[in-house]
Amino acid sequence: MSKSTYSRRRVLKSGALSGAALAMPTIFTASSASAFTNEPTGDTVTFGFNVPQTGAYAEEGLDELRAQELAVEHINGIGDGGMLNTFSSKALDGTGLMGKRVTFVTGDTQTKSDVARATAQSMIQKDGVIMINGGSSSGVAVAVQGLCQEAGIIFMAGLTHSNDTTGKDRKANGFRHFFNAYMSGAALAPVLGNAYGADRRAYHLTADYTWGWTQEESIVASTEALGWTTTNKVMTPVGAGDFSSYIAPVLNSGADVLILNHYGADMVNSLTQAVQFGLRDKQVNGKTFEIVVPLYSELMAAGAGANIQGVYGSMNWNWQLQDAGTQAFVRSFGEKFGFPPSNAAHTCYVQTLLYADAVARAGSFNPCAVAEALEDLEFDGMGNGPTTYRGADHQCFKDVLVMKGAESPTSAYDTLEIVEITPRAQVEYDPEHPMFTGGALGECNPGA
């Protein structure tokens, strides 16, 4: 009778370790045959478009999806090619990507971080996507970017404006083309100074989450640098609906400017209600009371109707720009869908093309090769003038638009007018600027 050398405790420990290894999600491990996560093996390669298709930002998400679909068509050689005709890089020739036809799957983030992570994870695990693009909220973008970093997938952020996305939450596998709150402040402040003077008292109402906090911080810093004072900063719950309780104290606060750090339906409601409370008819400190909405979107402008007239804000891009890239994209999009694209659609379209271009130039789908091809990329012809994808933080630097609600719009699409194209030099900053510190890109993760 032989005596076993395995104790019960040892068997249990071995079993537990084996079980844990088997249970470990496959997205965090590459198969032995692959050099990186979801290496394409057939004649197609799949992109994942993770956008809000239900919930408060659904309209914006659906517009992003239209643009993403258009970008895939252009990469595959369908349609008129859009911005591929004006893009300074000529690596994409309309025959797919590295001999493979591009397909895509979509996920509905519902603008909820947990749902967005779940849909992204499903796209990575079940659909084998090689890249994820999309989003209409910074909270969602930060969450999905973190997941993509862990999984070894490239994340090409959609609409995300918080400084944190390429600041404290920056990741080596994540890239942002959209501008950020710091840039909004840097572009807006001089225009506000010219329009309203250097002696103003500002009252901030701010959405209580990452984007609102960083936008408030940025706008406070840029307006105080002008000489303005900040009388109060009040956090408001996201989705508050009725903001009257927050607007009423503004009336006799001594402030003569109200800055609404709100987005989407919150901005529509807070601006509408502020106008109803007569703020824009008020005279305070011998000046006309003004309202500023630092971040605009076309859909918000449509929702706010006439209340937006004369109100300043900023945008990443607008269809009314006259450069060749913008006109090519607007023509493609407008012919296909019957209306001009939003700036959310534009950034997703550009990000999809930029990713594909980087793959073509790198000659590989390996996320680390793609990341290297994107870092410090200089390009033009995509609607914002000469642009750099800065390698230090994966943030695009380009011109920023200062907008104003049109006084007499001629259609449903020109409710905003371009006041100024702020040159990119004015919105640039050091990667270690205090508003962007606290995080590090880390190492690119190929998932191997």
- Residues in 6-45 that interact with other proteins by CB under 8 A: none
Query: Of the ranges 10-18, 129-137, 166-174, 333-341, which one interacts with other proteins (CB under 8 A)?
Result: 333-341
Name every residue whose Cβ is closer than 8 Å to that of residue 323 and which is 6 or more positions away in sequence: 86, 381, 383, 385
Q: Which of 36, 57, 179, 196 binds other proteins (CB under 8 A)?
A: 57
Residue 228 binds other proteins, judged by CB under 8 A: no
Q: Where are the alpha helices (DSSP H) in 390-443?
A: 424-427
| Radius of gyration for the chain, computed over Cα atoms and rounded to the nearest angstrom | 24
Q: Which of 77, 334, 386, 391 binds other proteins (CB under 8 A)?
A: 334
Q: Which of 7, 322, 410, 425 binds other proteins (CB under 8 A)?
A: 410
Pairwise CA distance, residues 176 & 348, whole Å: 10
Q: Which of 15, 19, 25, 239 binds other proteins (CB under 8 A)?
A: 239
Pairwise CA distance, residues 218 & 284, whole Å: 25
Name every residue whose Cβ is closer than 8 Å to that of residue 355 and which is 6 or more positions away in sequence: 47, 131, 133, 154, 156, 370, 374
Distances (CA, A) of 30 to 133, 156, 253: 21, 21, 59
Task: Provide the Cα torsion 266, 338, 399, 314; round to 10°.
Answer: -20
Using the minimum distance from each CB to other proteins, give the nearer residue, 57 or 397.
57
Q: Which of 58, 98, 221, 421 binds other proteins (CB under 8 A)?
A: 58
CB 92 within 8 A of CB 75: yes
Q: Which of 35, 98, 234, 418 binds other proteins (CB under 8 A)?
A: 234
Residue 249 binds other proteins, judged by CB under 8 A: yes
Q: Where are the alpha helices (DSSP H) in 290-396?
A: 298-304, 324-337, 343-362, 367-374
Residue 373 binds other proteins, judged by CB under 8 A: no
- Residues in 411-440 that interact with other proteins by CB under 8 A: 411, 413-414
- Residues in 267-326 that interact with other proteins by CB under 8 A: 268-269, 272-273, 276-278, 281-282, 299, 302-307, 319
Pairwise CA distance, residues 220 & 209, whole Å: 16
Using the minimum distance from each CB to other proteins, give the nearer residue, 243 or 397.
243
- Write out the residues near other proteins by the rule CB under 8 A: 54-59, 232, 234, 237, 239, 241-242, 244-246, 248-249, 251-252, 265, 268-269, 272-273, 276-278, 281-282, 299, 302-307, 319, 330-331, 334-335, 339-340, 410-411, 413-414
